[in-house]
Amino acid sequence: GGAKEQEEERAAGNPNAKNWHNEALKILEQTAKDYWELSCGSDPLHNADSDTQGDATDTPPEAETLGSAFDRRRRELEANRRMNGYLLGWQEELCRYLTCIADNVLKDMNVIEWWAKHSNIYPTFALIARDMCAIPATSVPCEWLFFAGAGIATNQRSRLGSDRFEELQVMKHTWRKSILDRAAENSSQVEEVWLDDFKELHRIDEDLAKDDEILAGPLVETVEL
């Protein structure tokens, strides 16, 4: 939630509530900055000199993979943008991405194709999308990881940073087979004790029922006579 949800949680008694909208925006800004610096420094996608252009055309079309074709197209677009004097920084690109409403965006669309078509508008975010779309976010191990993280990221632990959260996740995964669940063990023992008590009560009830049948037998015979 945003600032409104943060105030509501604080009013409800959680002084450590965070504005998760701002937290997500900070992560997005830092990621965009890192990718921008990396691409400008060492990524050939942002180098439009003749050597880079020559390397991009050395690969035969039939030998190109999806990644190499994407990179080659990105180099061509970056070269055209530089020649026209149009090259935005990551701040302007982020502002455009957050403020402009993209057309023809549907829930069942191909995200990879969309980013490939709009890589000339969002070059930095296209690089981020290329890396993030390769992560199997819906795989079973990832679902287990998210489920395990729900027990760590509680309201009482909302001030945990990403580094400490990652450390706790790794420790939990490493120690999960060696840590004994004392609460579950004690509860099972209590259930066994209670079950023994109920067994004894059930046996007593059965004995009393048999005694009642024995005592009721002569009375039934007397009534019949």
Output 136-141 pairs: Cβ under 8 A, ≥24 positions apart.
none
For the chain, the maximum distance between any two Cα atoms, rounded to a whole number of angstroms, is 122
As given in the structure block, the two tokens for residue 161 are: 């940073």
Mean pLDDT of 75-97: 68
Residue 159 pLDDT > 80, yes or no? no
Q: What is the pLDDT of residue 137?
A: 55
- Top pLDDT among 92 and 65 is at 92
Enumerate the domain spans of the chain: 3-139
Residue 214 pLDDT > 70, yes or no? yes
Residue 183 pLDDT > 50, yes or no? yes
Rounded CA separation 188/224 (Å): 53
The number of C-alpha atoms within 13 Å of 181 and in the hemisphere containing its C-beta is 9
Residue 108 pLDDT > 50, yes or no? yes
Rounded CA separation 144/35 (Å): 29
Mean pLDDT of the chain: 73
Q: What is the pLDDT of residue 114?
A: 86
Q: What is the pLDDT of residue 54?
A: 43
Q: What is the pLDDT of residue 85?
A: 41
Residue of 53, 93, 54, 59 lying closest to 75 (CA atoms):
53
- Taking only the tens place, the pLDDT of each residue in 31-70 is 888 888 887 765 444 444 434 444 444 555 555 565 577 7
The number of C-alpha atoms within 13 Å of 141 and in the hemisphere containing its C-beta is 3
Per-residue DSSP letter, 134: T
42 three-class SS? coil
Q: What is the pLDDT of residue 43?
A: 47
Per-residue DSSP letter, 44: G
Burial of 168 (0-12, 13-18, 19+ CB in 10 A): middle
Q: What is the pLDDT of residue 67?
A: 58
- Taking only the tens place, the pLDDT of each residue in 121-155 is 888 888 888 888 776 655 666 677 777 777 777 76
